[in-house]
């Protein structure tokens, strides 16, 4: 059996959904499980709804619900001619549920828990539309609520999958259905022990596809994207970027880790452990060969350039000129972890420590405030982290980045990393 994953761009409007229909039709005899994200940018829209709910902004809430209604009904209307079809009342039910959810006041519910309860509607709506559209073109399929299978802890917005429970339920309950019909389900969502909806982190649908593939011992997973495959650089920033035909799991994990955004970083591990191949193909050109990620260790022949924007360099030095050694470092790391500030590269010298982090203003401010008693802290915002992976020759800064100031440079293994400032 195969697992397919279609992201938001592949279902952003009615024509895109028709295209997904054409793709899955070609594979309808393959025992398919299809994972779908929210349509277009609707997860961002739902994030706005969470904020409006939290700020108790009724006008904003109503406006966003109207937009979500219009968006999904437009697509469903375009796809399904029969206006008495149950899809229309199904969508209405879901949207009314959402409206009621954000209408109430709750005690003891955290922002993150509320977030997961609200944003999951993007995936619920998209999968309903896709499933019924496929029925309308006579593709037999079954809509499945992924939350019944993807069991997680209660770490809302970044929930961790409970593998044993998930695998057991998927094998026992879901697997028999796969032999009978295609399964359409949601990416990104799960459920904790208390029956609360959880999510696996933004862009987590790739990971969902990998979790199902692992539990079902799938032959392969295909992520359908609007790019040709995994490229050696972002073509918007590096016009000479080329597609990589094949990479191994380790290379894929490293590229994703350094910030290549084609595959969600957590996706590879479950596939690697069962040697399940991953294809990254273009939904715009289905006959073109994309990238395959598998176990065959091939040497990567191309240099890869990965640019992470929105970085902040946090430079910390001791006030009493004591060394930045184990004790100081351990205090510093505790604070980074406590404030959930993610470090992408770090370096230290005798009395200073520098870390390049994703810019999350309030978290970094809180962190700095909490450590400023013992340490002097200096913040450089608006940095870029450039990683050159698998450099072939003398590692040089690529054209377009040579005018930047290098604030930090590090070479480790196959990767050179530079923190740059304009």
With CB under 5 A as the contact rule, which of the stretches 34-42, 56-64, 134-142, 152-160 interacts with Mg ion? Answer: 34-42
Please, is 369 exposed, middle or buried when counting C-beta atoms within 10 Å of its C-beta (0-12, 13-18, 19+)?
A: exposed
φ and ψ of 414, to 5 deg: -85, 5
Q: Is 202 in the site for ligand ASP (CB under 6 A)?
A: yes
With CB under 6 A as the contact rule, which of the stretches 81-89, 174-182, 203-211, 323-331 interacts with ligand ASP? Answer: 203-211
Question: Which helix or strand (DSSP H or E) is residue 384 part of?
Answer: strand 375-389
Q: Is 40 in the site for Mg ion (CB under 5 A)?
A: no
Do 354 and 316 contact (CB within 8 A), yes or no? yes
Q: Is 259 in the site for Mg ion (CB under 5 A)?
A: no
Please report how close the Cβ of residue 362 comes to ligand ASP at its closest, in angstroms.
21
Q: Is 190 in the site for ligand ASP (CB under 6 A)?
A: no
Distances in whole angstroms, Cα of residue 333 to Cα of each of 8, 155, 352: 36, 20, 14
Do 191 and 197 contact (CB within 8 A), yes or no? yes
Residue with tokens 């350094």: 258
Among 19, 31, 37, 127, binds Mg ion (CB under 5 A): 37
Please report how close the Cβ of residue 294 comes to ligand ASP at its closest, in angstroms.
22
Do 159 and 191 contact (CB within 8 A), yes or no? no
Do 122 and 43 contact (CB within 8 A), yes or no? yes
Q: Is 204 in the site for Mg ion (CB under 5 A)?
A: no
Among 2, 7, 262, 385, binds Mg ion (CB under 5 A): 7
With CB under 5 A as the contact rule, which of the stretches 6-14, 56-64, 137-145, 337-345 interacts with Mg ion? Answer: 6-14
**Closer by beta carbon to Mg ion, 130 or else 415:** 130
Q: Is 8 in the site for ligand ASP (CB under 6 A)?
A: yes
Distance CA 336, CA 343 (A): 8
Question: Tokens representing 101?
Answer: 């959810």
With CB under 6 A as the contact rule, which of the stretches 196-204, 309-317, 360-368, 404-412 interacts with ligand ASP? Answer: 196-204
Q: Is 156 in the site for ligand ASP (CB under 6 A)?
A: no
| Residue 188 contact partner, candidates Mg ion, ligand ASP, none, CB within 5 to 8 A by sort of partner | ligand ASP
**Closer by beta carbon to ligand ASP, 101 or else 379:** 101
Question: Tokens representing 192?
Answer: 């904790």
Binding-site size for ligand ASP (CB under 6 A) equals 12
With CB under 5 A as the contact rule, which of the stretches 26-34, 35-43, 124-132, 389-397 interacts with Mg ion? Answer: 35-43
Number of CB atoms found within 10 A of residue 165's CB: 14
Please report how close the Cβ of residue 343 comes to ligand ASP at its closest, in angstroms.
22
Q: Is 43 in the site for ligand ASP (CB under 6 A)?
A: yes
DSSP 318-368: ETT-----HHHHHHHHHHHHHTTPPEEEEEE-SSEEEEEEE--HHHHHHHH
**Dmax (CA) of the chain:** 75
**Closer by beta carbon to Mg ion, 31 or else 185:** 185
* Residue 411: strand pairing partners: 416
Please report how close the Cβ of residue 41 comes to ligand ASP at its closest, in angstroms.
8
* Residue 36: strand pairing partners: 6, 186
Do 6 and 34 contact (CB within 8 A), yes or no? yes
Please report how close the Cβ of residue 226 comes to Mg ion at its closest, in angstroms.
11
| Residue 122 contact partner, candidates Mg ion, ligand ASP, none, CB within 5 to 8 A by sort of partner | ligand ASP
Closest CA to 188 of 199, 196, 197, 174: 199
Among 3, 8, 182, 279, binds Mg ion (CB under 5 A): 8
Please report how close the Cβ of residue 402 comes to ligand ASP at its closest, in angstroms.
34
Please report how close the Cβ of residue 203 comes to Mg ion at its closest, in angstroms.
5
Closest CA to 204 of 284, 146, 137, 248: 146
Chain positions contacting ligand ASP, by CB under 6 A: 7-8, 37-38, 43, 122, 187-188, 202-205
């Amino acid at each position: 059996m195969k697992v397919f994953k279609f992201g938001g761009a592949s279902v952003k409007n009615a024509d895109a959904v028709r295209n997904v229909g054409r793709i899955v039709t070609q594979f309808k005899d393959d025992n398919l499980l299809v994972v779908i994200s929210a349509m277009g940018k609707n997860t961002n829209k739902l994030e706005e709804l969470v904020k409006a709910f939290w700020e108790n902004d009724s006008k904003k809430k109503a406006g966003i619900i109207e937009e979500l209604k219009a968006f999904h009904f437009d697509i469903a209307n375009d796809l399904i001619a029969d206006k008495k079809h149950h899809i229309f009342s199904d969508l209405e039910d879901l949207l009314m549920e959402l409206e009621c959810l954000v209408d109430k006041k709750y005690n003891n519910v955290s922002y993150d828990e509320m977030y997961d309860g609200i944003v999951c509607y993007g995936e619920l709506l998209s999968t309903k539309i896709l499933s019924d559209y496929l029925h309308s073109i006579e593709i037999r399929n079954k809509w499945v609520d992924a939350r019944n299978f993807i069991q997680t802890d209660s770490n809302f917005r970044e929930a961790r999958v409970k593998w044993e429970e998930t695998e057991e339920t998927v094998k026992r309950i879901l697997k028999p259905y796969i032999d009978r019909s295609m399964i359409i389900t949601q990416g990104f969502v799960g459920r904790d022990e208390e029956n609360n909806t959880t999510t696996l982190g933004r862009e987590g649908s790739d990971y969902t596809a990998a979790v199902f593939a692992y539990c079902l011992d799938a032959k392969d997973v295909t992520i359908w994207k609007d790019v040709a495959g995994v490229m050696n650089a972002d073509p918007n920033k590096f016009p000479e970027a080329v597609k990589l035909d094949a990479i191994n799991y380790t290379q894929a994990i490293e590229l994703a880790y350094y910030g290549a955004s084609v595959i969600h970083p957590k996706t590879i591990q479950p596939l690697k452990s069962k040697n399940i191949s991953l294809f990254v193909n273009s939904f715009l050109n289905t006959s073109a060969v994309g990238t395959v990620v598998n176990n065959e260790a091939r040497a990567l022949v191309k240099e890869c350039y990965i640019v992470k924007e929105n970085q902040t360099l946090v430079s910390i030095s001791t006030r009493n000129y004591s060394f930045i050694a184990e004790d100081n470092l351990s205090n510093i790391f505790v604070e980074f972890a406590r404030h959930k500030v993610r470090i992408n590269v770090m370096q230290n010298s005798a009395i200073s420590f520098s870390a390049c982090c994703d810019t999350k203003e309030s978290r970094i401010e809180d962190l700095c405030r909490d450590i400023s008693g013992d340490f002097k802290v200096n913040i450089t915002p608006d940095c870029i982290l450039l990683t050159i992976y698998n450099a072939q020759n003398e590692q040089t800064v690529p054209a377009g980045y040579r005018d930047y100031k290098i604030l930090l440079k590090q070479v480790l293994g196959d990767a050179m990393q530079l923190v740059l400032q304009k």
